[in-house]
Amino acid sequence: MSEDKTTQLNQINNTLPLSCLIDFKFGNARNKMKTCELEELKSSIKELGVIQPITVRPSEISGMFEVIAGNRRWKASQELSLTEIPCLIRDFNDEQAYEAHLAENIERSDLSIVDEAKAAQRFVSLYEGNHLEAAKRLGWTPKKIKDRLELLKCSDSVLKALDENTISISHAVILAAFSEKLQNGTLEKVVSEKWTVEYLKERAGKAKNWLRKAKFDISDCSNCQHNTIHQNDMFDTNLSGDAQCANIPCWRSKTDEWLESQRFAAEERYGKVLLWVDSSKADRNTVSPSVVGQEQYENGCMGCVSKVAIMDNRSGKEGELIESQCVDKICFAKCTTAINTPTPPVNDDIDPSTTTHSEKATHEKTTVKTKETPTQVVQKTPKSVLLHEEKSLRNAGIEVLKDDPKIMAALLLSLANELSGYKNSITSDSYDFTQKFTKALQADLETINQQISESLSCFLADKKDECTTEAKSPTRLIIKALSNRDDSENIAKKAWKADKETLGNYTIDQIVALCEQSGFDKAYDSVQTSLKKSDNFAKVSKSGKAKFIKVITEFSEFDWSDFAPSTMLKHVSA
């Protein structure tokens, strides 16, 4: 972008016609506005005009601008039939625009408790379940994040009553612990009979749960004094269908322990598992080959940290799973846009639905088909996988690069240049250490040595400021050097090992994918068949992560030496 255009986009006092404004393409996080609030805003605008500019960015549609922040001022201006509105135009990319849009909706003095709960959910989802990062971004404590998310266990009716001040937050907290049906039924009585918090707490304390509906092991409950079966027969230790638990705190504690164990097991298979309150339907999308394309799904989404599973933690629904959920709305939109290229109309209809474990992603019927177009695979690989791959490449790189004089000279020049700040003829236009090192590799050895001398002389004579070491990663430098070699792919394959340490970084599904890509699955089944054994690959892949890895590492009939995952090879691609 030119300097003139950047200056233009950063001017505060731009005024744009309302006809040039359109909705933010990722939706409006604040989807409600009370009538009284709108009328008050309209009255203010009538008297004073729009004092605070709204924030917009240039749209992909020529001449149009998306409203990032200030939706209420925009809507009020439309209802008043204004022709233009003051705007702050920003050249935001999608990620910046989305976060700015979310932030605008929490930086208001009139934020309700329900608004806060939904804001907490949006930011926890945005940060892929990381409560601490969401708390930092919102300027809240982690406890406040947790407390607000707990409110989202309330039914829609209870949240509506809380938002309208029909009930208090204390009422809502008590109701949140029960099933949706019980919440709604109790809410009617709370409102119509004007129950106090103390009375609701008393009634809730008398609640009972059917032991037959328990998720946890109830063997310890047979002799418990809070088991209502003993009120009928104190010597009957059999738990019939009539047995109930009258100790709700104990029930919840056991259920929470069970839920945590289920979440741990699910994370071994699916990777990241978020609780139901951590991400709303509006903040995630079901991802599948039919939605983003086979290549993107297999080589991108399957190993991406933004592909999560959602585990329900609401009363009565604990442990229910929704698989294949993408919590990166920006990346999802780009992937779906890339795959959907319109083709001429045809007579048949597109299949209207694809099904996941617990949810369906539906498509409206249309007479226009789409075709998959080649596009670059997008993936946010788990950090543990990337770190282990980089570590393996560093160790492999040291062996092949340690005796290369040009590598050592290029490294020394980069260090000297970083220390001195001297703008030599090789690295003068490079902005970071890795780029300096890469540029130095392209020069001849004599020139490199000459520039080293000049850089160090400059450092000794003129440089006073100490340099930082943040960008001087030997791992990254070695990998960069490897990528300049013709045999980089072979080195990467040699560095990647199908051992316990390596495979431990992947989920079960990802290990299955590696075995299928390498041909291990077919080799394993072939040997098992020849030995007339009942085990097969499909069976051992369902035996639990630890046992699955043990089978793979102990199977000596398969040669992994000519294989490395695409993520490993990507490190050394030029």
* Segment 214-237 mean pLDDT: 77
* Rounded Cα gap, residues 92 and 94, in angstroms: 6
* pLDDT score of 350 more than 80: no
* pLDDT score of 22 more than 60: yes
* Rounded Cα gap, residues 81 and 87, in angstroms: 17
In the chain, what percentage of residues exceed pLDDT 70?
A: 83
Say which residue, 390 or 144, is predicted with more confidence: 144
In the chain, what percentage of residues exceed pLDDT 90?
A: 49
Give the HSE-up count for residue 89: Cα atoms under 13 Å, Cβ half-sphere. Answer: 20
At residue 321, the 3 state secondary structure works out as: strand
Question: E-assigned strands of 63-142?
Answer: 65-69, 84-89
* Segment 30-35 mean pLDDT: 66
Boundaries of every domain in the chain: 3-110, 132-253, 256-371, 383-473, 488-571
Question: Nearest CA to 373 among 350, 345, 343?
Answer: 343
Helix axes 94-104, 113-126, angle to 10 degrees: 160
* pLDDT score of 3 more than 60: no
Q: Does domain 132-253 have CATH number 1.10.10.2830?
A: yes
- Average pLDDT in the chain: 84
For the segment 439-497, what is each residue's pLDDT rounded down to a tens digit? Answer: 888 899 999 899 888 887 776 666 554 433 344 466 776 788 899 999 999 999 999 99
3-110 and 132-253 agree in CATH topology: no
* pLDDT score of 430 more than 80: no
The DSSP output letter for 227 is B
* Segment 336-345 mean pLDDT: 66
For the segment 510-523, what is each residue's pLDDT rounded down to a tens digit? Answer: 999 999 999 999 99
The alpha carbons of the chain give a radius of gyration, in whole angstroms, of 30
Query: Among 24-28, 367-371, 435-439, where is mean pLDDT lowest?
Result: 367-371
Pick the CATH number of 3-110 from 1.10.150.120, 3.30.460.80, 3.90.1530.10, 3.40.50.620: 3.90.1530.10
In this prediction, residue 574 has a pLDDT band, given cuts at 50, 70 and 90, of low
* Rounded Cα gap, residues 545 and 500, in angstroms: 11
Q: What is the pLDDT of residue 384?
A: 64
